[in-house]
């Protein structure tokens, strides 16, 4: 058992750590197709909500008198 060698993995250098950190950050910031779709759905939901509010105000009799 005394002859077993322990092979240590050499530590990464500063440049390799920096490149790894930048690569991990870029991967985390990647804007996927799924993210794009979710953003578009949110935008459409806000637009539908705004249009519903406009329609509700147009059908409101008190608001209709204000337009005349």
pLDDT band per the 50, 70, 90 thresholds, residue 1: very low
The C-alpha atoms of residue 23 and residue 29 are separated, in whole angstroms, by: 10
Between 5 and 17, the more confident residue is: 17
- For the record, the structure tokens of 1 come out as 């058992």
**Angstrom distances, CA of residue 41 to CA of 29, 36, 48, 50, 51:** 20, 9, 10, 14, 15
Phi, psi angle pair for 12, to nearest 5°: -70, 145
- For the record, the structure tokens of 11 come out as 């530590």
The pLDDT of residue 9 = 47
- For the record, the structure tokens of 56 come out as 């509700």
The pLDDT of residue 48 = 97
Predicted confidence (pLDDT) at residue 56 exceeds the cutoff of 60: yes
Report pTM: 0.48
pLDDT band per the 50, 70, 90 thresholds, residue 64: low
């Amino acid at each position: 058992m005394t002859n077993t060698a322990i092979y240590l993995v050499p530590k990464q250098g500063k440049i390799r750590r920096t490149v790894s950190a930048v690569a991990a950050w870029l991967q985390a910031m990647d804007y996927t197709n799924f993210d794009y779709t979710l953003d578009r759905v949110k935008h459409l939901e806000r637009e539908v909500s705004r249009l519903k509010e406009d329609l509700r105000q147009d059908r409101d009799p008190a608001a209709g008198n204000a337009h005349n």
